[in-house]
């Protein structure tokens, strides 16, 4: 019989590539992870890993076991969801991950309604970048989280997660008043307020500007949209902001609608869609987005 915890470590290794990364994700030592994977090999009766110096890679048998293991882990999630569905009322923790603009706008109303409907649920929110959500959900640090991408820079889905659509937003060019800029191409000579290089938002600005025929000239770097809009209002440059962040722009900011769209989805582990706590969260936050 294969140990489920060890099987999860092997699946993590397939995704994270190194023993050290698996150890960090699971709060183990690297030696403990190696011992557990060696024990899994003994249980399987075939070599699962090829070791070359300090690096490891999956054998053909290891890749087969990961593929089947992902299905087993999803089945366990469905089993847990089915058991929770027959329980009397929702209780226990529901760990939610969301990006800053969602935490300020969608999450408070969602928490109030969920708390009223299911008072025994222990609702816990963590604010984090959407890029970090998939790993946090897979590693069971979160039960559900919000992820997003842009139509101009789609993000490859995580095979270990299920997602459902939450909302699609208009993206705006934010310019300071009384700047006469009226369309994106006219912002080619303006200073730009860019996100941190390497982030999705930075990539989106670079991509959108390149499509308009120019390379943006960065003056400031900021990742929080409230900070971005404050800098725009202060006449420090222009930037792109999604609708959720631009609902109440500060005085001195003018918004120009662009064809670009930001798409937000709700993510949870494969097999967890039937869990009543997940179902309740999806329903309520969709209502929040509609409001």
121 Cβ neighbours under 8 A, 6+ residues apart: 90, 91, 92, 93, 94, 114, 115, 277, 280
Give the domain-ending residue among 56, 84, 112.
84
187: confidence class by pLDDT, cuts 50, 70, 90: very high
pLDDT > 80? residue 46: yes
- What tokens appear for 81 in the block? 């969801």
pLDDT, tens only, 35-44: 888 888 888 8
pLDDT of residue 274: 87
How many distinct structural domains can be found in the chain? 2
User: Residues 63, 105: one domain?
Assistant: no
pLDDT of residue 226: 94
Query: Cβ(9)–Cβ(36) under 8 Å?
Result: yes
User: Residues 115, 258: one domain?
Assistant: yes
- Domain range for 33: 4-84
* CA–CA gap between residue 230 and residue 236 (Å, rounded): 9
User: Residues 72, 94: one domain?
Assistant: no
User: Residues 39, 151: one domain?
Assistant: no
Give the domain-ending residue among 27, 62, 84.
84
Predicted TM-score (pTM) of the model is 0.79
User: Residues 78, 110: one domain?
Assistant: no
pLDDT > 80? residue 89: no
* CA–CA gap between residue 119 and residue 220 (Å, rounded): 44
* CA–CA gap between residue 17 and residue 4 (Å, rounded): 19
pLDDT of residue 129: 87
Q: Which of 34-38, 127-131, 170-174 has the highest mean pLDDT?
A: 170-174
- What tokens appear for 226 in the block? 């409230």
* CA–CA gap between residue 34 and residue 186 (Å, rounded): 57
Give the domain-ending residue among 84, 118, 151.
84
Percent of the chain scoring above 90 in pLDDT: 56
176 Cβ neighbours under 8 A, 6+ residues apart: 232, 233, 234, 235, 236, 237, 238, 252, 253, 254
Q: Which of 66, 65, 51, 64 has the alpha carbon at shortest distance from 19? A: 51
Residue 213 region, left (φ>0) first, then alpha (ψ -120 to 50), else beta? left
pLDDT, tens only, 101-127: 999 999 999 999 999 999 999 999 999
């Amino acid at each position: 019989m294969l140990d489920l915890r060890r099987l999860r470590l092997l699946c993590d290794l397939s995704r994270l590539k190194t023993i050290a990364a698996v150890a960090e994700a699971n709060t183990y030592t690297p030696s403990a992870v190696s011992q557990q994977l060696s024990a899994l090999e003994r249980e399987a009766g075939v070599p699962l890993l090829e070791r070359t110096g300090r690096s490891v890679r999956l054998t053909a048998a290891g890749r087969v076991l990961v593929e089947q293991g992902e299905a087993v882990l999803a089945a366990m999630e469905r089993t847990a969801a089915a058991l929770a569905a027959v329980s009397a009322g929702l209780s226990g923790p529901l760990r939610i991950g969301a990006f800053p603009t969602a935490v300020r706008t969608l999450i408070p109303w969602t928490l109030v309604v969920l708390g009223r409907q299911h008072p025994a649920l222990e609702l816990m929110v963590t604010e984090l970048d959407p890029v970090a959500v998939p790993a946090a959900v897979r590693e069971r640090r979160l039960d559900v989280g919000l992820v997003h991408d842009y139509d101009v820079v789609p993000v490859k889905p995580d095979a270990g997660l299920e997602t459902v659509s939450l909302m699609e937003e208009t993206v705006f060019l934010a310019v300071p008043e009384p700047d006469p800029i009226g369309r994106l191409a006219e912002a080619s000579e303006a200073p730009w307020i860019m996100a941190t290089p390497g982030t999705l938002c930075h990539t989106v600005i670079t991509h959108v500007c390149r499509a308009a025929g120019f390379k943006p000239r960065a003056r400031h770097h900021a990742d929080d949209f409230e900070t971005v809009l404050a800098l725009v209002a202060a006449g420090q440059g222009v930037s792109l902001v999604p609708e959720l962040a631009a609902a109440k722009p500060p005085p001195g900011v003018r918004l120009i609608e662009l064809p670009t769209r930001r798409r937000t989805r709700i993510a949870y582990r494969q097999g967890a869609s039937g869990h009543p706590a997940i179902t309740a969260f999806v329903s309520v936050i969709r209502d929040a987005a509609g409001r």
